[in-house]
Amino acid sequence: MILENQNELNKFYTKIKRQELSLNVNKPTARTFTKARDRMTIVNVLAMALTVAVCGRLIYLNTVKSTFLEKQLNTRVMRSITIPAMRGTIVDRNGQPLAVSTPVNAIWADPSSIDHLNTNQLKDLATALGLSVQELNSKLSDKNKTFIYLKRAMSPENADKVLALDIPGVYKMQEYRRFYPSGEVTAHVVGFNNVDDQGIDGMEYKSNQLLKGANGSRQIVRDLKGNVVSTDVLQNAKEGSQVSLSIDSRLQYIAYNALKAQVDKSQAKSGSAVVLDAHTGEVLAMVNLPTYNPNSRNNITPEMLKNSAAVNAFDPGSTMKPIVVAKALDDGLITPSTQFNINPYYVGPKRIVDDHQRSSTANVTEIIQRSSNVGTSKIGMMYKPEVLWNYFHEVGIGTKLNTGFPGETNGVMLPWQKWYPIDQALMSFGYGVTASLMQMAHAYTLFTNNGCVLPVTFDKVTSDSNLECQQVISPKSAETMRVMLSKTVEDGTGRTAQTADYTAAGKTGTAQVLQNGRYLTNQHIGSFVGFAPAIDPKIIVAVTIDRPTVGSYYGAQTASPVFAKIVQESLKTMKVKPDKIAINTLVQ
């Protein structure tokens, strides 16, 4: 029994020992603890490094990159859209509209928010926009862009058809398109705008700052799918100011019809006409042919765009003669009855002759009446070059009129120091010096405004306007010149300028065309500059017919009849009382 118990005890003891050995084998050593600690350190370091990196990135994004990210977010979620200002209206002196703005739509897109469109969507969108699929794909190809115009100046009806396609990322915005009620009749005065509604020619260009107003802005907020969720006006647009021109639409149509009839009849290269108020210098009408329709500028040539009356300079020919005579008359060097020998003579190597010499002598009135080159050159040669050069500048020859009209010419006149005697002689009857038709009309305010030369303006003159003029000759000399010029129309080279109901005064001109430094003997410009009524002028009318190919080329046969038509109809329209009275006795 005892032995059995002892055996049991030994077995139990042996079992205990084995368990001890097993526990000793699994007991951690110092090295085991070291390895564990190293692993924990690595994990902690990595966690710390990751935390530092995340914090650093957050700091970087919120400081250095915050502006960029904000901009990117705003670009994708918020957008500021321009609210175009309605451009001011241009009206004539009587309030008739010459340029107005009509609301249209622009279709724009955000390429960055437009996913791939299927073939049918592309085709439908391109058709609605009037574009080819290739053009549309090209516009939408840059996914970095968030704004691009797809089509400008669409009618609201057509723009709605585009939006009805319900293509995400395609929108419309209101803008304005200019409309010109008088079309080609006032094209060279009013000018036109570009697609951004900015003036690029004529009065649209000159008065652009007044007309354009100030654009406003609207903020659009979209969700992540590109849908507009709200719009807020940040700043309202301010409409442009109205501009009132000196132009009288009624006289503009009269001048246009009269000029067109003659240009067509003569089959001329071009023609121009200018009508000024005789006592204010206001431009009442200005027309040129060829012209263009500013509402549809397809197939326009540079010649059509050119406002020849203001930008083309030509040799004025005999229309220059009264200006020279007026100077000598005012200085007391001559009187209307002073006699001159008008036989041909030489100035240096050049022989000066008259085209239609009737006798060997003529007085000053007859020199103007018969358009004598010889007589006028002798009067011009009475002056030193510097004196005559200064006088020409005083009446606006060789200098800009400063009307603000784009492209306005100076004309050409050599400095007096470079004049030879023959230059001075030729300038006296309108050769070797060039001027625009506008400059010639302006110079004749010398006669209509009692010797005080007026500035030319396209702005309507009001009662508050401070009209300044330069007194160049005396009122008495101006009156004498009016009578002498009326005799030229009554019984001289300007008889074709006579009207049915009104007296008229003026001077014809015919000059060869200057090309590449040489005068062409087979190409001419006919002109007439004058005013009416003769003694108490209301308007100045200047006309040129450039290179007529049918019939006569003389100013008396081409330009004078246009002058007569414009004067007769314009003065009636202005309700000026007919004044056909005898004036022969006013100057003896």
Residue 185 per-residue DSSP state: G
The active-site residue, picked from 318, 371, 477, 486, is 318
| Whole-number Å distance between alpha carbons of 272 and 542 | 8
| Whole-number Å distance between alpha carbons of 234 and 255 | 48
Q: For residue 76, give Cα distances in angstroms to 80, 229, 230, 550.
A: 11, 13, 14, 68
DSSP, residue by residue, 520-535: EEEEEEEEEEEEESSS
Residue 199 per-residue DSSP state: B
Tokens matching residue 540: 């100045």
| Whole-number Å distance between alpha carbons of 488 and 529 | 12
Please check whether residue 505 is in contact with residue 488, taking contact to mean a CB–CB distance below 8 angstroms.
Answer: yes
Longest CA span, the chain: 185
Please check whether residue 354 is in contact with residue 429, taking contact to mean a CB–CB distance below 8 angstroms.
Answer: no
Residue 492 per-residue DSSP state: S
Give backbone dihedrals phi and psi of 564, rounded to 5 degrees, phi first: -60, -45
Tokens matching residue 329: 């008359």
Helices (H) then strands (E): counts for the chain: 22, 19
Respond yes or no: is residue 270 known to be catalytic: no
Please check whether residue 218 is in contact with residue 231, taking contact to mean a CB–CB distance below 8 angstroms.
Answer: yes
Q: Is 230 exposed, middle or buried (0-12, 13-18, 19+ CB in 10 A)?
A: exposed
Which residues are registered as beta bridge partners of 238? 214
Tokens matching residue 442: 């302006």
DSSP, residue by residue, 240-306: PPPEEBS--HHHHHHHHHHHHHHHHHHT-SEEEEEEEETTT-BEEEEEEES---TT--TT--HHHH-
Judge if the upstream peptide bond of residue 533 is cis by omega within 30 degrees of 0.
Answer: yes
For 535-563, give the secondary structure using H, E and C: CCCCEEEEEEEECCCCCCCCHHHHCHHHH
Q: For residue 276, give Cα distances in angstroms to 363, 443, 570.
A: 31, 11, 11
Task: List active site positions.
Answer: 318
